[in-house]
Amino acid sequence: MAAGNRTTGSGEDRLIDRYFRPLARHPGAFGLIDDAATYTPPPGQDLVLTVDAIVAGVHFFSDDPPESIARKALRVNLSDLAAKGAAPAGFLLTMALPKTTDEVWLADFAQGLAADIAAFGCPLFGGDTVSTPGPATISVTAFGRLPEGTAVRRRGAKPGDSIVVSGAIGDAVLGLALRGRDADAKGWPLDDDERLFLIDRYLRPRPRLELAETIRLSASAAMDVSDGLAGDLAKLCAASGVDAVVDLAAVPLSVAARVVLSAHPALIERLITGGDDYEILATVSPDNFAALQEAGEAAGVPVTRIGEVKEGTGQALFLDPDGKVLDLAQTSFSHF
């Protein structure tokens, strides 16, 4: 056989064969041997599309466990789908990887991805692998589905609606400080379990897909909290043309976050402006709050009322226990 007729043997093809083809079991993925994938949406359903990229040294540490990098890349997108009320249908993966990336790294990355594909029922449909002289950059395009016209928007919050969040706020920004060996974080009075819990909350977001259907049926507006509660709530308010008044004391915090806060009360600002929470922030009419809370209880994910929507022009006000408006220096994370 002439060398010109080799159909395998390129390193790229071999790595895809070995680590990613086994993850692409959906028939529409064509075993990753085609140029594109196909997906047949169920009749009467809208597709919900979202894309998010994470970059080594910016959104994750280059020595984070590869399985957790893979999971984070997928989960930050699933979190967007959940907040819109969509069920995941599949995803495409772009990896720009340094030439030094070794197979152990790739195998671990693929294993993390495989675990989440199974856990969230979200199959791999295709992707692209390219080399980069820069840091590893992982981009995921996830698509989900929901009954036509029912996607929950950022727009839609009405005066009188309750403001709710899932889970707990601020763990990930503390986990980031611990993971990054932030000098401040050294003094936090945490035991090992609490420390690991917070780091895990940073490394492995929990997309709240269990709440997606109830969000779709009951929320007037919703988004996921990725860039900090304060800034994201302000975005929701701006899109809805309302104000939000939040009772700071009602913002749900984990036990570990409370331990840190009890020693350093000023950190409350970091908790509500830090990013990477990947919780759902939603507004619901008072009548619908009970349904959402029940769905949370059934799913083991607390849903907490933190404030109320008011008439306004797009402000999110956080009131401290004395009723004073918090003056937040920076509301959210920005890449530029």
- Interacting residues with a second copy between 175 and 214 (CB under 8 A): none
What is the spatial distance between Cα 319 and Cα 322, in angstroms, rounded to a whole number? 7
Residue 328 in the binding site for a second copy (CB under 8 A): yes
Torsion of CA 284, 286, 288, 291, to 10 degrees: 110
Whose Cβ is closer to a second copy: residue 57's or residue 189's? 57
Query: Residue 162 forms beta bridges with which residues?
Result: 284, 308
- Rounded to the nearest 5 degrees, what angle is found at the Cα of 115, between the Cα atoms of 64 and 142? 85
Stretch in the footprint of a second copy (CB under 8 A) among 11-19, 108-116, 188-196, 210-218: 11-19
Residue 109 in the binding site for a second copy (CB under 8 A): no
Whose Cβ is closer to a second copy: residue 133's or residue 323's? 133
Whose Cβ is closer to a second copy: residue 81's or residue 198's? 81
Stretch in the footprint of a second copy (CB under 8 A) among 53-61, 65-73, 159-167, 194-202: 53-61
* Euclidean distance between the first and the last CA atom of the chain, given in angstroms as a whole number: 53
| Residue selected from 88, 127, 167, 175 as contacting a second copy according to rule CB under 8 A | 127
CB of 305 to a second copy, least distance (A): 21
Residue 334 in the binding site for a second copy (CB under 8 A): yes
Count how many Cα atoms sit within 13 Å of the Cα of residue 159 in the half-sphere of its side chain: 8
What is the spatial distance between Cα 142 and Cα 52, in angstroms, rounded to a whole number? 9
Stretch in the footprint of a second copy (CB under 8 A) among 18-26, 94-102, 172-180, 202-210: 94-102
- Sign of torsion over alpha carbons 217, 219, 221, 223: negative
Tokens 């009322």 identify what position?
305
CB of 314 to a second copy, least distance (A): 5
Residue 5 in the binding site for a second copy (CB under 8 A): yes
